[in-house]
Structure 1
């Protein structure tokens, strides 16, 4: 799976790099690479998922009351 960004006529390199980063972010490529950089035990993944779920639930209950 290759991602190509073609330079438009008269487009600066900085803008093309920004488009590339946005596309990589939208497709989740960067996130996948960062997740797979180190091995995480399944128990650690479950623990992290529970931690995130508890945090989002806390935020939901906090903002429901407002």
Structure 2
């Protein structure tokens, strides 16, 4: 998601969070099966709002462990 070139038009954190939740709802509604668990990396886009949204729908959320840097 990118913001328009106008600085005052940048999306807020709340707008971005709603957009992510709407996206996962859309994806889940299109699948022909019930999802039991979603696995994500540790990116901030999969924070508490995303986590609790999945749990509220009865879907587990597992974050993968980051690989140690060599």
TM, length-normalised to structure 1: 0.39
Q: Which has the higher helix share?
A: 1
Question: Which of these two proteins has the greater Rg computed from alpha carbons?
Answer: 1
More strand by share: 2
Flag the structure with more relative contact order, 1 or 2, with Cα contacts below 8 A and sequence separation at least 6: 2
